[in-house]
Structure 1
Amino acid sequence: MPNSHGPTRRWAGAAAASMLVSALAVAVTPGAALAATPCPPGTIRGIVGGYAYLYSLVGAVPAFNVSDSRSVTNNLDQPAQATFTSQVSKTFSISVTAGTSASLFGFLTTNLSSTIQRSRTTAIGVSTTAVVPPHGRVVGEYGVEAYLVTYDVQEYRWVGGLNACTPSGPLTRATANAPTTTEGWRLSNG
């Protein structure tokens, strides 16, 4: 006996399959769930992961990162000459509280000073002399000049194929200590 519902069942099955495929196609349309827009000017891509950062410099003050400290006290009634020699080596690196050291380094060397280093290790055996006044004291500090930086940073999720950015969190205010290429002794009366 012929099946009177055969073509109708086949058509209904084909229509259901077609609707399922259409629904899946809508669900996986690229970019539909992302609110990515072109990255703002000045955004620096992070080296690790798919993040980008937009920095704004709030302020920077000079600092001195001390790796070694010595003092000489003169108890004589006449001046005395003192020699200070560095005997401790220490490494100073950009300290990052928000963003990445690589992207912050790129921003700071462009917008603050080209002398900033990602990392700087002080030398051993560097000497200087000073005259210590009668009944006085001289303090010698060896180290690296630096900047104490305050900055704002906005993190973005970087969409590489689209070269676009999606905000990935609130604007954050942060601080960093940024060493420079300038190294040496700093003498003061103690």
Structure 2
Amino acid sequence: MPDRADSGPGVRRRGWRARVTGLVMTVAMMSGAAVLAVPGSAQAGVFGPDIACPTDPSIVWTTTVAARNTVVYQGHLFTVTSANRTFIASDGRTVDNGLSSPITATFTSQQSRTYTVITKVGTSAELTSKLQATVSVDIQYSRTTAIGVNAQVTVPAYSRVLGLYGVEVYDVAYTAQRVWMNLARSKCWDRGTQSDTTSAPTLVEGWRFTAG
């Protein structure tokens, strides 16, 4: 026969409380797991470091697939680190005057060359827009130097004149940060930054003359 002390009302109450406590703990553990599994509650760092969404108006946002059944906006934030204006020649001529009196020489451009803004990240149109807004409105996406442009120059006696035909460009160094943004436009992630350079042509082209 079992000991009556092990089967009294007090023992039954303790057993009931133990079962209830165990059930509460189980529900709490299940609830905790459910909270962790709620979509969006642990999104930080899923697609890269969280960043403030950029507001640069030159960014062009397009949609891209970030993961299965997940579409985000993608944009590129360009930052110019340096821009130096210089002249690049597409054609050149020289005239030597061996006479004892000055002469007039006519220089004509006969070769052309195309200069284009190039980027490996984003599009050249996006980068050009950024350069026009932050460096110079003279910058163009692409420019081909003209041919048949004439210029007359006086060449002094016993001297040489060098004529170069070309275009003024900006030698640009820049960074391009790829950014992903959720469709609600409320959260953004850094997808990496690349550094690069390009030559950005301007509207200014023509002849430049120097003593030989």
Q: TM-score, normalised by structure 1?
A: 0.74
How far is the alpha carbon of 1:99 from its aligned partner? 4.4
Q: For residues 34 and 98 of structure 1, do their structure 2 counterparts lie closer, same or farther at Cα, with a shift above 3 Å needed?
A: closer
Structure 2 alignment gaps of length 5 or more: 1-33, 65-72
Equivalent residue pairs, number? 165
Please tell me the residue identity of whatever aligns with 1:148.
D
Contact 1:51 1:156 in 2 (8 A): yes
Q: Which residue of 2 aligns with 1:104?
A: 127
CA distance in 2, matches of 1:126, 1:168: 47
Contact 2:94 2:160 in 1 (8 A): yes
CA distance in 2, matches of 1:64, 1:183: 9
- 1:44-77 Cα shifts (integer Å, max 9, x gaps): 1266965312222222111112221111111212
CA distance in 2, matches of 1:100, 1:158: 18
Q: Which residue of 2 aligns with 1:15?
A: none
Q: For residues 46 and 175 of structure 1, do their structure 2 counterparts lie closer, same or farther at Cα, with a shift above 3 Å needed?
A: farther
Q: TM-score, normalised by structure 2?
A: 0.67
Q: Which residue of 2 aligns with 1:89?
A: 112
DSSP 3-state at the match of 2:127: helix
How far is the alpha carbon of 1:173 from its aligned partner? 2.9
Q: Which residue of 2 aligns with 1:64?
A: 87
Contact 1:89 1:121 in 2 (8 A): yes
Q: For residues 143 and 184 of structure 1, do their structure 2 counterparts lie closer, same or farther at Cα, with a shift above 3 Å needed?
A: same
CA distance in 2, matches of 1:92, 1:189: 27
Worse-superposed segment, 41-50 or 56-65: 41-50
Provide the alpha-carbon RMSD of the alignment: 2.8
Q: Structure 1 runs of 4+ off > 6 angstroms?
A: none
How far is the alpha carbon of 1:130 from its aligned partner? 0.8
Q: Which residue of 2 aligns with 1:120?
A: 143
Matched, 1:78 2:92: no
CA distance in 1, matches of 2:199, 2:74: 22
Structure number, greater radius of gyration: 2
